[in-house]
Amino acid sequence: MEIVIHPHAEAASITAAALVAGLMWEHPSCVLGLATGSTPIPLYRELVRLHREEGLDFSSATTFNLDEYVGLPPEHPQSYHAFMQEHLFRHVNLAPERVHLPNGLARDIPAECDRYEKAIRAAGGVDLQILGIGTEGHIGFNEKSSSLASRTRIKTLTAQTRSDNARFFGAVAEVPLHVITMGVGTIMEARQVVLLAFGGNKAEAVAAAVEGPITAMNPASILQMHPRATLLLDEGAASKLAHAEYYRWVYAHKPAWQRFGRRTPGA
């Protein structure tokens, strides 16, 4: 697990975009795992800029989103289908047939979850998975106590998560109770994971995930076992890390060839 602390969320998001763009320049047919919520919005904004101003090409890429609410149609303004259209898909040249999100209206939810797992495998697996982290340590919608070997499935949201998401809906009562989410085991099969965390309200969850024990009570802690997990934090999210200065020292002294950046065609 690599911990990189930035002065603010925008700087961390630009680094995340550099990692995604670097992969796309080198492997145009890569498979990206995408997250929703307020945290990745600056990342998507930077990817759109790179597409418009520097020619970042999405036409051969494939995407799989982490999750979707059960019961919301794709056109609902708070569905993750709508979120992705607003913040990324309609601004870049992704092929619609290469875009994948769980179907929250499926009549047979277990069958839909199985279909989604098979689609990820058929695409060759996720090359780079973008994650956020919930205030209780969830990744995707894998709430605390989720199996660390879990696959795509339906989950019941906790009261805390529904409260956290109420700002998007207007009231807690309007937040759906259930979601389809990639499982922790599914996420861990991605070849690279980039987790973004911003703000002091994420500090306890981040500290527990990075420096605490691996436990289902903080699902993000399993990333300690991932061979290529990078956490990009702002100062607020890093504020409760006991070894923050060590992480800063390590990143500042990386050899030049290990530093984050993106390669452009011909570079």
Asked whether residue 263 carries a pLDDT value surpassing 60, the answer given is no
pLDDT at 237: 98
Give the model confidence (pLDDT) of 64-103 as tens digits. Answer: 999 999 999 999 999 999 999 999 999 999 999 999 999 9
Task: Give the C-alpha separation, 83 to 181, whole Å.
Answer: 16
Estimate the crossing angle of helix 41-54 against helix 9-26, to 10 degrees: 50
Output the pTM of the full model: 0.94
Task: Give the C-alpha separation, 116 to 44, whole Å.
Answer: 23
Asked whether residue 168 carries a pLDDT value surpassing 90, the answer given is no
Give the model confidence (pLDDT) of 13-40 as tens digits. Answer: 999 999 999 999 999 999 999 999 999 9
Asked whether residue 261 carries a pLDDT value surpassing 90, the answer given is no
* Paired residues of 125 in beta bridges: none
| Neighbouring C-beta atoms of residue 108, cutoff 10 Å | 10
The per-residue b/e assignment along 231-248, b for 16 or more CB within 10 angstroms, e otherwise, is bbbbbbbbbbbeebeebe
Give the model confidence (pLDDT) of 185-230 as tens digits. Answer: 999 999 999 999 999 999 999 999 999 999 999 999 999 999 999 9
Asked whether residue 265 carries a pLDDT value surpassing 60, the answer given is no
Per-residue DSSP letter, 78 = T
Task: Give the C-alpha separation, 8 to 104, whole Å.
Answer: 34
Q: Which two tokens stand for residue 100?
A: 């994948």
Complete domains list, the chain, with CATH = 2-254 (3.40.50.1360)
| Neighbouring C-beta atoms of residue 159, cutoff 10 Å | 8
pLDDT at 267: 44
Q: What is the mean pLDDT of the chain?
A: 95
pLDDT at 170: 86
